[in-house]
Structure 1
Amino acid sequence: MRNYSRALGVRCNYCHEGQKIEGQERMKWDFASDKKEDKEVAREMIKMTAALNKNFISKIGDGSLRQVTCVTCHNGNAHPINSVDSLKKDAEPSKH
């Protein structure tokens, strides 16, 4: 779970339901709960990266390419950043 947390720049409460218990500093987490939509989205994205790695990345070249992981697209952000968004608005298109 720490890898997911770092890759998305989020804490446990992003996907999991927590409840403050009176007299205790720590939250009580209901990790089994599926109440949060973000948890289901995460599951689907995990399936997507597994499929990309199995069906495409593993078949490219000599197999030395690294696998796609959450951080590949998220880069520490809760929502993936489209690479097009990071391009300069005044950049000239490639002449290839």
Structure 2
Amino acid sequence: MRLIYRQHAVRRMFERSISTDDVAAALADGRVIEDYPTDTPYPSCLWLGYSNGKPLHIVFADNQDDDERIVITVYRPDPVLWADDFATRKPS
């Protein structure tokens, strides 16, 4: 599956010093922690993976017809908002 980066993702990755290698590492070994089945034009999800031992959240959508994974945004989860597992949101 080919990775496509939205402009928003590229901008945020630059601002947050997250590389495409970081994204690839996190996508290679991680899991879906939230599904967004009603997103358009494609259902998307929130993925938790790790790069260099640091957690990384990636929101992406899969375009099955064109064999593309569209990266929408990427960020390091904030421990104030996420439990120690970085997969569970803390109550607000």
Shared topology, TM-score over 0.5?
no
Q: Normalised by the size of structure 2, how large is the TM-score?
A: 0.25
Task: Indicate the structure (1 or 2) with the bigger Cα radius of gyration.
Answer: 1
Larger strand proportion of the pair:
2
